Amino acid sequence: MATYLYLALNGESKLASYTLNPDTGKLAHHEDVQLTGAPGPLAADPTGRFLYAGLRSTRQLASFAIDQSGGRLKHLGSVPLLSDPCCLSVDHRGRFLLSAYYSAGATSVHRLDTQGAAVEQPVMWLSTAPCAHSIFTDPSNRYAFLPHVAQTNAIYQFLFDEETGYLTPNPLFKVAPPPDTGPRHYVYHPTLPVVYFDNEQASSVTAYHLDTAQGTLSAFQTLPTLPADFSGENTCAQIRIHPEGKFLYAANRGHHSIACYAIDTHSGQLTSLGQQPTEQTPRDFNLDPRGRYLYAAGQASGRLAVYRIDPASGRLAPIETYEVGKAPMWVLPLELG
Burial (CB < 10 A; 0-12, 13-18, 19+), residue 48, is middle
Number of alpha carbons in the 13 Å side-chain half-sphere of residue 249 = 28
Please state the domain extents for the chain.
40-176
Question: Can you give the pLDDT at residue 5?
Answer: 98
Q: Which residues pair with 28 in a beta bridge?
A: 19
Q: Are 204 and 184 in contact (CB under 8 A)?
A: no
Provide the percentage of residues in the chain whose pLDDT is more than 70: 100
- Mean pLDDT of the 121-137 span: 98
How many residues are listed for the chain in this entry? 337
CB 248 within 8 A of CB 204: no
Q: What is the pLDDT of the chain when averaged over all its residues? A: 98
Residue-wise pLDDT tens digits, 76-103: 999 999 999 999 999 999 999 999 999 9
Per residue in 31-71, pLDDT tens?
A: 999 999 999 999 999 999 999 999 999 999 999 999 999 99
pLDDT of residue 322: 98
CA 27/CA 20 separation, integer angstroms: 5
Q: Does position 1 have pLDDT exceeding 90, yes or no?
A: no
132 in Cβ contact with 105 (< 8 Å):
yes
pLDDT of 303 reads 98
Q: Which helix (H) or strand (E) holds 43?
A: strand 39-44
pLDDT-derived band at 6, boundaries 50, 70, 90 = very high
Helix, coil or strand: residue 243: coil
Give the predicted TM-score (pTM) of the model.
0.98
Mean pLDDT, residues 289-301: 98
- Residue 217 has a pLDDT of 98
Q: Is the pLDDT of residue 337 over 90?
A: no
Answer whether residue 208 shows pLDDT above 90. Answer: yes
Q: In this structure, which topology does domain 40-176 adopt according to CATH?
A: Methylamine Dehydrogenase; Chain H (2.130.10)
Q: Tell me, what DSSP letter sits at residue 177?
A: P
Is pLDDT of 332 > 90?
Answer: yes
